[in-house]
Structure 1
């Protein structure tokens, strides 16, 4: 697909023409411990509300909700903890193989120009964005819980965008059971040799998960107490917000310096560099392999290169200047962002957009989840 890869049947353009998941909210219990709905509580009580932890004061009153820290970004079971996909997983991701594969970082609110074009300004609220792309090991947890891990209505919603959560009509696009899900992520029949998924744990578990449809990607993030980022959020992170970086790592922002030390792209891992019609699995590298040199402003790795990433939005013209906007229309194509290990340098620019049918599975498309702080 990518030595001019615009995605199967897609095209690229340089400019744009609820429920938090399992255990994400205990607010249904007003007393956080059976102490009634009057707002009174016992000093040892705690509860989750809107993915924040709320603690009872010594005076028996609920305090202000507190955001969970980046190392434990999910409020579950009345405490901040790791997302479900990292439950029991060792901290073995990143360049030093010592970070949680679910590491996340806060991205502060701000305004910027989408696709580095002043005709398309937007403002985003602060949000959390996973440092790494979803690994095979993390996805394995989703498969183990499947089909119980399928989303309920409105799961994975952006808290400020009505209608952005899971639509039950999409459930028919998901595999029926775990066996069907395992079969669906093999990239068959076109490129089965390029799938990172393996039925048993092993060396692939630190590779980015690929061959996932938009529906599966959205379902995974909703189950993992997160959501797909909006296109504006993803673009904001890759551009370094108002810095308007050309590449996620560009310093100064206008720099177009790029080589294999910043990102995995253009089949740079192969013995004979340069992509051919027949791509090589060896070009897919573990998440964070180019960190920290290729990190974005807020430490996210692989925003350029490795895997392209599904975002929430349907493909179309950018919404008008806005705050926390997204194209939540159920369009025939969805947006993917970021270049891949198989793409030319221009696809890694923070300004690039690609449109792909949401049912498509391809070896250069993966997942990164956003979260509500």
Structure 2
């Protein structure tokens, strides 16, 4: 994966048996918003973007009619899937996942492996979707928060159970823009609205001090903040969202990594401005972290 500061590093693939796909079981699908589709201008040539991310060039793209969830899959919805199927996520099978150090007690930060390039990430044994900060944490009060520590494989398995799919990258951006042409954010050009905060991002001095002025130091409820004009919540900030597509750029052929969109609660103007609707990153399909989730489509 490319150097990306607010997304967790890639999990190196180990010799694990691939997860068993879950198909043919009818689950409870999140409510989907029908969109008419059509042509829009995808991408960005923003001077604040990262050239290696391949946001540009701006180009006309047409998407067919589709439907997409108003918000990311919640921990409560994912729990229904696990209860019905007994599914084990990649993080559970590997035994660990990446957690932002600022959310961990000293006992878990101490001695945890930290990638040299991004030492604010800790590889925490026992960090999973139901224990987001590792041993001693839980999701009892986070049923309406996005499920995290889910890989692209895990998202695909949920989709197979619920009778939905991951959005394509083009569908995701079309929906996230909410009908605005080439705006930086789902609400327009300005980072924040005069009416208050519009997204859950890192407030303060990254990575050492988060004021949580927007109300959240970690994830926020999936319907926090105002939706865009299409009715979608948190298309920027909160958690990165897996898309169906393999990663490619104008100078890079598709590879085995998968696209993520939207930024997360760790994005910050001074260090990672990827909470723009055109921003994109990628990671290996078995990777997981405390700021990665997904939204579904049909």
Superposed CA offset, 1:298-336 (max 9, x none): 1110001110100000001269xxxxxxx9x6x321100
TM-score norm. by structure 1 comes to: 0.55
Structure 1 position 142, deviation (Å): 1.0
Other-structure match for 2:264:
340
Q: How many angstroms apart in 2 are the aligned matches of 1:225 and 1:238?
A: 22
Partner of 2:239: 307
Equivalent residue of 1:347, what SS? coil
Report deviation, 1:5: 2.1
Give per-residue Cα distances to partners, 1:265-305, cap 9 Å, x unaligned.
Answer: 01x4xxxx343269898422111111x2xx22211100011
Residue 221 of structure 2 corresponds to residue 289 of structure 1:
no
Give the direction of change, closer, same or farther, for the CA distance of 1:298–1:175 in structure 2 (3 Å limit).
Answer: closer
Conserved 8 A contact 2:92-2:128 = no
Residue-pair matches, total: 240
When structure 1 is superposed on structure 2, of 300-309 and 113-122 the one drifting more is 113-122
Q: Does the CA-based 8 Å contact 2:98-2:123 persist in structure 1?
A: no
CA shift, 1:108, in A, is 1.4
Do the aligned partners of 1:3 and 1:275 also contact (CA within 8 Å) in 2?
Answer: no
C-alpha distance in structure 1 between counterparts of 2:276 and 2:283, whole Å: 18
Please give the secondary structure, in 1, of the residue aligned with 2:39: strand
- 1:242 is displaced (CA, Å) by 6.0
Question: Partner residue of 2:60?
Answer: 121
> What is the CA RMSD across the aligned residues, in angstroms?
3.7
2:28 is aligned, of 85, 93, 97, to 85
Q: CA deviation at 1:241?
A: 4.2
Relative to structure 1, is the Cα distance of residues 200 and 258 closer, same or farther in structure 2, using a 3 angstrom cutoff? closer
- Length-normalised TM-score, structure 2: 0.68
Q: 2:289 matched to 1:362?
A: yes
**Residues of 1 paired with 2:81 and 2:176: CA distance?**
27
User: Which residue, 108, 113, 120 being the options, matches 2:36?
Assistant: 108
Q: Indicate which of 116, 139, 157 corresponds to 2:78.
A: 139
Secondary structure of the corresponding residue to residue 129 of structure 1: strand
Corresponding residue of 2:174:
236
- Out of 123, 145, 165, which is 1:190 matched to? 123
Higher relative contact order (CA 8 A, sep 6+): 2
Matched, 1:276 2:199: no
* Partner residue in 2 for 1:225: 163
Question: Larger Rg: 1 or 2?
Answer: 1
The 8 Å contact of residues 136 and 208 in structure 1, kept in 2 or not, is answered as: yes
Q: Quick one: distance in 1 between partners of 2:96 and 2:7?
A: 22
Gap change, CA 1:247 and 1:359, over 3 Å in 2: same
How many Å separate the matches in 2 of 1:7 and 1:206? 23
Moved more, 334-343 or 273-282: 273-282
**Equivalent residue of 1:370, what SS?**
coil
The one of 123, 147, 151 equivalent to 1:213 is 151
Give the secondary-structure state (helix, strand or coil) at the position aligned to 1:141: helix
Do 1:208 and 1:307's aligned partners in 2 also have CA atoms closer than 8 Å?
yes
Is the contact made by 2:260 and 2:282 (CA closer than 8 Å) also made in structure 1?
yes
Superposed CA deviations along residues 192-232 of structure 1, whole A, max 9, x for unmatched, are 69755259872121111001111001111221110000000
Asked whether the 8 Å contact 1:3–1:276 carries over to 2, the reply is: no
Change (3 A) 1:363 1:225: same
